Amino acid sequence: MKSLRLLWLLMLALPAWGQYVATPQAGVSYPALTNPTPVPLAAATTGNDPKDKGRATIAIGFDFPFYNRVYSQLTVTSNGVLFLEPSTGANTAADFPGNVPIPNGAEPNGVIAPLWDDLIGSNQTSVIQRQAISGSNGAGLAIEFKDWSRWPSGFFLTFQVRLWANGVIEFYYGQLTGMGPTPVTATIGIEAPTGIAGTNALPCYGPSTDGGTLPAPVSSGLCGLQTFDPMGTGTPINFVRFGPPPGIDLQALTVRVDSITSSAGDLAIGTTFNLRNFGTVASPPFNYGVYLSEDTIYDPGVDMPLTPAPATPFSLGVLGVTSRTHTGNVAQPDAGSWYVLAVIPPLDAGETNVFNNVVASTVPYAAGVDLIAELITPPPIAGPGEPINVDVRFSNQGFENAGSVSVKIYASVDTELTSDDRLLTTQPMAVVGGQQVQQQLTLTVPLATPADNYYFIMQLDDGPDAGAIVERNELNNVVVAQTVTQVRQADLVVTQVRVLRPTPPIEEVSSVFFGEQARFEAFVANIGGATANNVRLSFHMSDNETLNAVTDLLVGTVPGLSFAPGESRWVSLASATVPSTDGLGQPLPVQPYFFFGAVVGQGIIEQNNENNFIAAPPVVGRRPAPNFVPTDMQAPARGGAGEIVAVSRTLANYGNRDGMEVKYRYYLSANTIITPDDLPVTRVTSGGDVLDGTVTLAIDQRHSATELVRLPPTVAAGTWYLGVLIDPANEIVEADEFDNGLAGTRTTVAPQALGLASTLLPDAIVGLPYDVTLIGRGAADITFAPAVTTNWPEGLTLEADGRLHGTPTRPGAYQLLINVTSGSRTVLSAIPLRVANTTGSLMISALPLPAPIRGLEYTARLGAVGGAGAYRYQLIDGILPVGVSMNDQGVFSGVPTDPLGTSRTFTIRCVDLIGNVDERAFTVIVVDALPFTIVTGALVDGAVGEQYLQLVAAANPAGSQVATPVRWRVVEGQLPPGLAFEPSEQETVAISGTPTRPGRYSITIEATDAQGRVDDQSFTMSIVTTGITASGAGTRAVRPGEAVAVTFTAQPVPADARWFWRDGRLPPGVTVNADGTVTGNVPADAESALYTFSLSVGASTGESLAIVWWTIDVNPNANPPTPGCSAGGLELVAVASLLVLSRRRRRK
């Protein structure tokens, strides 16, 4: 007997619980919550953001066995850690941001840590939510951290904890991405209630320490996101199960005394025994015993058994949990305090842990009546007028019945029960001898309760010396809650409003149409402690930034809303009519408007009424009109000058009126801003190259197409943006005239294009043999092949060497699409061919012959159309330049030797196969071999009201005398108003006058000398207004995930002046507004870079009164955003001078 007692003493001296085993797994589907509710976090201290420093104690919903204890509630913190043991002392409101390795004896205890670190709900979609679940493990509770982040921001972390009634714990991991200024260094695992044992989920890894690609092992408590996929497999660990070790493990969880009845010197004791098999093997049949003991240690042969013992043995399956009730008798002790024990004898089959088979009642029992207040657990947040649930536990530790016991709940601002405390409820309960009462009381916090932090206090039988029940001890009838309850009124807040399109694609807009539909949304939150019912959200339209509910126009309302404490969500008014008239019935002017969202709780008192409304960024109200917008533009990464490339584009009408036929045009631009000043690109069609395309778009209609375009042969090599501009001449009035252009990705243009040297083919005649050889350019080893055969002339064949031959059988105009190949590179080229019927009408081409250059080889070829083909040419009148001859194929060749300026006029006759004849006279002038060139490189800028003078000069590069008279003219664009050419026939011409209107002007000037040589050059000049000061103030550096706010101003400017985007690149998520503000939120995954851009102010994009440049540094290591400043003056002059560098040259 002595050895058995020693065995039981040894068993109870060791830790009385089984160890959990963690099983990680990859590739498990993340279980989405179907009907979650938010967890109402309360701030750890007043003024803190609950999503940063917050916690909430919530009911589990079932008895959750954890190690050798059973819990009905747990605490959730904002830092990715849950815990089951109550906090004490200074930790009663702590959120525990500083994670520690597992195990650790310091608070919190009973830890469940899926990702314990200094976390924050900094994303707009961040939320902690819960949901009751069920499955093969029985009843369960899921707690999800959705779109959470490591402090301060930069991450999207979604993970979930699932607690099951059989004691199993599961961690699930969804999206774990991002990069912030502080990396994740988390604790992942669970810890026993006393903190002396625990289980880590998996080995921890952090960043590489040697510059390699693989992460490095680190200690528990420093787990980086690399922990989930340390080898970079692409299939991370996303599930961890905490379950039992292999074998049988019977655990005595709790024993509760339900009743004690004294009769004839015996005690009849009723008990409920909770136990489980936390093992992987079902147990054999077993039984248990109930004993009366002077202490909590089972002493065989000494402790008094209750008889009869439980009669029927039973088994427990894998992870089985059960409750057994039993009533037994025992002789009533003469004196002393006695515990009730439930004991499971050791199994013959053995257990993985035999040190958890005994459990004692939580309190001892003795003769008489002794009411003991044990525990009161109120919710962390309560609101006046709100029903709340309070869990209480108390016992009668006497053998005698207590009868009807008065249970009172008070709210106190401290831990002392005094007459000043507020009585919340009084509820009588019948209590028998030995009974332990565990009950949830429902009560309502009085409406008049001021907002404060309260300790809830339970008092039994009216307290010491005042109650009706005579007790053995009158000093243990009061218990104070271990945590405070924040009593808060509701506090509704609107944090964001946005105006959107009412139909797909539903996206934010910068303008709305009077009298038409729009969608309005507001993000509403209840940051108070009471539920806000009968909430109405209304949207108002104002012409200023101040909401006036009386004079501003009501757009629409969303009534009947309800927000629980801590709840937040987007609320939508799916479709509402934008007002078209003011309160007096007058039409609203076209201008920016502010749309406010305002929320009101009917009949509730809020903590703060100043945060119930906010406005969206200004939105321009417009009258009904179409609005043509390119929504997509795809361009090739590479192309050669003169080559044909394929582009894809989508054009849409986002207006509220159908559009008439509208033109669009492709351009090459040096930046991402596509304007009519950029280099136009022709479309390649079956009818030849054309500049403009047309499209007709109804409301919300989109038109997508893939088209062929020809890069200009003269375009300079380099990096360009190939874009599209709809309505390039502004011929149609639109709702928004400033969103018509869109650039594709960068296109690298090669300097020498592979393609066809031939640009024209001689006509072919139906029924007559045709034989022409194509010539390539750009490489030596060129082959040719048809790109498509669907529109190929019947009867003609193209050989690989470029020979196009055969006998055509059908007339028509054909655009031959030909693949020109050299090595591994193939370029699509196009060349027109006309196949004509045999006709008696023969005509020599009217195209002029090129001017012969003295001393250089001259080559030219005549062309003819009509007739029967097989043309023959002959000189019938006049003299060819000396040194030049012509054969019967109409080919001129030779080296001209006539003096410079010699003019030769001659007549050529053409005769076809059947004798048709045509004659035509030609004149050529022998010119110098050196080019005639405009040598002025740029035009200086001017200012409104100030005298302007600029000389433009042409010259022969070798210094020879320019042949006069020289004719000057503007062939494209126009000079700024107030400026003109002074009369001149010399090699220089003056532009003079006084400019009258500011703006940016693009012009092309042409000069022609007396020998017929021509050159032109394009210039861009700016006319600015003097005396204007422009500046910017706002964000210069920003971290991903933070907001940008920059404001540009200029003085003095006209009242109708607006700000326009000019050039450069904005950070993603940031937009430019007409009032000169640049606002938005940089996404958390934005690229780190310097973003430089410029804005101009004026009445239109072409009228630049002033220009300001700005740079924003997007950098995760950037200092917190600080305002910057940029001013006009010299900076504006420097910017304007850069504009003259944008010029293009064409040579004729």
Lowest mean pLDDT among 453-467, 513-527, 696-710: 453-467
* Mean pLDDT confidence for 424-430: 93
Q: Is the dihedral of CA 475, 476, 477, 483 positive or negative?
A: positive
In a domain, 745, yes or no: no
Q: Are 205 and 61 contained in the same domain? A: yes
Can you give the pLDDT at residue 1101? 57
Q: How far apart are CA 22 and CA 24, in angstroms?
A: 6
As for how many domains the chain has, the answer is 9
Q: Which of 547-551, 589-593, 662-666, 1089-1093 has the highest mean pLDDT?
A: 662-666
**Region 896-923: what's the mean pLDDT?**
86
Tokens at 575, concatenated: 């479709």
Question: What percent of the chain has a predicted confidence (pLDDT) above 70?
Answer: 92
Q: Are residues 235 and 281 in the same domain?
A: no
Mean pLDDT of the chain: 85
pLDDT bracket for residue 951 (50, 70, 90): confident
Task: Tell me the CATH number at 1044.
Answer: 2.60.40.10
Confidence band of 6 (pLDDT split at 50, 70, 90): very low
12 domain-assigned: no
* C-alpha to C-alpha distance for 51 and 54, rounded to whole angstroms: 6
- CA gap 182, 151 in Å, rounded: 7
Highest mean pLDDT among 647-661, 705-719, 917-931: 647-661
Q: How many CB atoms lie within 10 A of CB 309?
A: 13
3 within some domain: no
pLDDT for residue 528? 78
Q: Tell me the average pLDDT across 439-462.
A: 89
Q: Does residue 1023 lie in a domain region?
A: no
Quick one: CA dihedral 858, 830, 693, 865, positive or negative?
positive
90 and 201 part of one domain = yes
What tens digit of pLDDT does each residue of 248-262 get? 999 999 999 999 998
- Nearest-angstrom CA–CA distance, 215 and 238: 18
pLDDT at 752: 60
d(CA 217, CA 208): 9
Residue 52 binned pLDDT confidence (cut-offs 50, 70, 90): very high
740 occurs within a structural domain: no
Among 986-995, 1047-1056, 1119-1128, whose mean pLDDT is lowest? 1119-1128
- 832 versus 107: the higher-pLDDT residue is 107
Cβ atoms within 10 Å, residue 786: 16
Which residues form the domain of 478?
Answer: 371-487
Burial class (CB in 10 A: 0-12, 13-18, 19+), 211: exposed
Q: Which of 561, 595, 622 is the last residue of a domain?
A: 622
Q: What pLDDT does 464 receive?
A: 63
Pairwise CA distance, residues 989 & 936, whole Å: 11
Q: What is residue 33's predicted lDDT score, i.e. its pLDDT? A: 94
Q: What is the chain's Cα-based Rg? A: 45
Q: What DSSP designation does 92 have?
A: T
Q: Mean pLDDT lowest for which of 129-143, 173-187, 950-964, 1008-1022? A: 950-964
The answer for 893, left when phi > 0, alpha when psi is -120 to 50, beta otherwise, is beta
What mean pLDDT comes out for the span 331-340? 91
Domain-embedded: residue 641: yes
Say yes or no to pLDDT of 243 above 80. yes
Q: pLDDT higher for 1074 or 936?
A: 1074
Confidence (pLDDT) at 322: 93
Same domain, 716 and 830: no
In this structure, the answer to whether residues 394 and 303 fall within a common structural domain is no
Single-letter amino acid code for the residue at 46: T
Reply yes or no on whether the pLDDT at 4 is more than 70.
no
Same domain, 230 and 208: yes
Among 210, 205, 242, which Cα is nearest to 221's?
205
Query: Do 387 and 441 reside in the same domain of the chain?
Result: yes
| 3 pLDDT more than 80 | no
pLDDT band at 1135 (very low <50, low <70, confident <90, very high): very low
pLDDT at 759: 66
pTM: 0.46
- Is 426 or 856 the better-scoring residue by pLDDT? 426
More confident of the two residues 215 and 676: 676
* Residue 553: other Cβ atoms inside 10 A: 18
Q: Which residue did the predictor score with more confidence, 213 or 958? A: 213
1147 falls within a domain: no
Same domain, yes or no: 602 and 665: no
Q: Are 343 and 298 within 8 A, CB to CB?
A: yes
The confidence score (pLDDT) of residue 1103 equals 67
Residues 820 and 846 grouped into a single domain: no
Model confidence at 1139, pLDDT cuts 50, 70, 90, reads: very low
**pLDDT at residue 456 above 90?**
yes
pLDDT digits (tens, 9 = 90+) for 601-634: 877 777 677 788 999 999 989 888 898 999 999 9
Q: How far apart are CA 858 and CA 884, in angstroms?
A: 7
Last residue of a domain, one of 487, 502, 528: 487
Q: What is the pLDDT of residue 5?
A: 45
Q: Both 463 and 512 in a single domain?
A: no
- Are 537 and 499 found together in one domain? yes
Averaged pLDDT for residues 928-953: 77
For residue 881, the model assigns a pLDDT of 94
Residue 211 pLDDT grade (very low, low, confident, very high; cuts 50, 70, 90): low
**1125 or 847: whose pLDDT is higher?**
847
Assess whether 680 and 799 both reside in one domain.
no
Last residue of a domain, one of 622, 647, 674: 622
Whether 156 maps to a domain, the answer reads yes
pLDDT for residue 385: 78
Least Cα distance to 1034 among 1127, 1126, 1124 occurs for 1124
Answer yes or no: is pLDDT of 1125 > 50: no
**Mode of pairing for the β-strands spanning 403-412 and 1123-1126:** unpaired
- The fraction of the chain above a pLDDT of 90, given in percent, is 45
